[in-house]
Chain A
Amino acid sequence: MVLKLWNYIRGYVVIRVQGLTLEKFINMCTVRNIYLWDVKRVGNTVLEAKIGIKGFKDLRKIVKKLGCKVSIRKKQGYPFWIYKLKKRKMLLIGAFFCFLLLIFISTFIFSIEIAGNENVETAEIVYKLNTLGLKPGTNRYFINLRKLENQLLLDMNRLAWVGIEIKGVKAKIEVVEKIAPPSRIDKNTPCNVVAKKNGVIEKIIARNGDAVVEKGDIVKKGDILISGIVQLEPIGGSMLVHSYGDVYAKTYYEATKSKGLTEIKKEKTGQKLVKRILSLGSIELSLNKGKVPYEFYIIEKKSKRPLQWRKIGLPVELITEEYYEVNKIKITIDEMEAKNYVHKRALDDILEEIPFEAEILNTQVDFVAKDGVLYGKVTVEVLENIAEQRILQIGED
């Protein structure tokens, strides 16, 4: 193999020798230190052999002496290849320019990728970027990324941060959106106060507008609590006002959680089987044969990468899989413990929903055990402000 490669680099020709004293030809070659190899007898008077370039040049004297005919069948090797290339200079130039062109083209941006936007439309950001000068077909060296980031932030006030990164021919844009503050309604705009949540009214303080509900009323989400349409009794007719006020109501939060009363626990028996897998890129080679002889087992995987330096390394990985035999053991969980667990988890869920300034009035927990599973329902009664302003749609009236 190495010899073949060496011969290829040196260059050789396949010659065909025609003559009556071919043995003499071979002998003379050896005497004159001309290296011949792969000598093949093709016919009675014909012989084929491979010979180096220098050897071929030296052959002339022997040929003259012996009076045999030598013809070249094939020229092989790197020197001939170079020679051919020298003859076809334009090909070389073309290849060079092709390479240059490839590099040049790769400096252009081919696609834009946007990540991190939830409410802002991707198309909107892309459109904005296009108008600012970043679009497919722009050269990466002609745009100032930092400037573009700032400009995009200025133009789109819904974004809090923009990061543009160019990776190869791809522009990756990462955005972080602003969390919009609750919209404030202007003081002169007529509006209603509506319920934010379902609940039972406890207290109503109407600072402006007409209260339309009383204590003890059950309201649903979206029901009008304080109307912005004020009836003018003595005159008759109505006036639109900017109503506002606080409405306190009892609201209920509920959560149901469950937990099995029996649990299967896996316990190692001490039996172990080790398997080694060699992974080359995407190919995985198992170094051990055989199936895992255990019915139940836990697998622990470890992998080693040889010759690794930072992120660069060979795509070779040695994975060691350890199979531990386990016994499955049924464990009955203490009911009190299960109840506590369910209660705590349900409460955790609820507390996340309850607004910070709300006052907890009452909590109630119901447990039901069914088919070996404990269900816990936690209800929390809360007093909170459910008032929310909503602009009056005047057109509807």
Chain B
Amino acid sequence: MGESGGIKKGLAEILELPKDIILDLPKIIMIGNLQIYVENHKGILEYTDNRIRINTKSGILCIMGKNLMLKNIVIEEIIIVGEINQVEFID
């Protein structure tokens, strides 16, 4: 995030606007460990049975688990199902 990112962040806080839209950040929703929903991604970097790496504005989102499957993939969102063990951001 550069300088403009800082301004935007401040603006979002003042105006109480959703940060995922203003800052173009991913919105991640998990349902237990069964499903993960990533909105606003920037493409898939790696996809295997037990590891998926997704590029986002906040860094690389790494999802580890078993029998992972891309249930749905479009330009805005990804839905991953399977047994999710670990979700982490790697810079």
The answer on a CB contact under 8 Å between B47 and A36 is: no
A:23-75 near B, CB below 8 Å: 23, 26-27, 29-31, 33, 35-41, 47, 49
Q: Which residue of chain A has its CB nearest to the CB of B75? A: A30
Q: Which residue of chain A has its CB nearest to the CB of B42? A: A27
B43 contact set on A, CB distance < 8 A: 23, 27, 30
Query: Contacts A30-B75, A31-B75, A33-B75 given: A22-B70 contact, CB under 8 Å?
Result: no
Query: Contacts A27-B43, A30-B43 given: A39-B73 contact, CB under 8 Å?
Result: yes
Decide if the interface of chain B is mainly helix, strand, loop or mixed. Answer: strand
The answer on a CB contact under 8 Å between A23 and B73 is: no
The answer on a CB contact under 8 Å between B75 and A26 is: no
The answer on a CB contact under 8 Å between B73 and A36 is: yes
A23 contact set on B, CB distance < 8 A: 43-47
The answer on a CB contact under 8 Å between A40 and B74 is: no
What separation, in Å, do the CA atoms of A39 and B72 have in the docked complex?
Answer: 7
Partner of A27, one of B44, B48, B49: B44
The answer on a CB contact under 8 Å between A40 and B44 is: no
Q: Return A135 CB to nearest CB of chain B, in Å.
A: 65
- Number of A-B residue pairs, CB cutoff 8 Å, is 44
B71 contacts the other chain (Cβ, under 8 Å)? Answer: yes
Q: Which residue of chain B has its CB nearest to the CB of A32? A: B75
Q: Return A6 CB to nearest CB of chain B, in Å.
A: 13
Q: Which residue of chain B has its CB nearest to the CB of A39? A: B70
What separation, in Å, do the CA atoms of A29 and B72 have in the docked complex?
Answer: 12
Partner of A37, one of B44, B48, B71: B71
A-B contacts besides A37-B72, A39-B70, 14 pairs, CB < 8 Å: A23-B45, A23-B46, A26-B47, A26-B73, A27-B44, A30-B43, A35-B74, A37-B71, A37-B73, A39-B71, A39-B73, A40-B70, A41-B48, A41-B69
3 closest cross-chain pairs (CB), A and B: A39-B70, A27-B43, A23-B44
What separation, in Å, do the CA atoms of A47 and B48 have in the docked complex?
Answer: 9
Q: Return B51 CB to nearest CB of chain A, in Å.
A: 10
The answer on a CB contact under 8 Å between A29 and B47 is: no
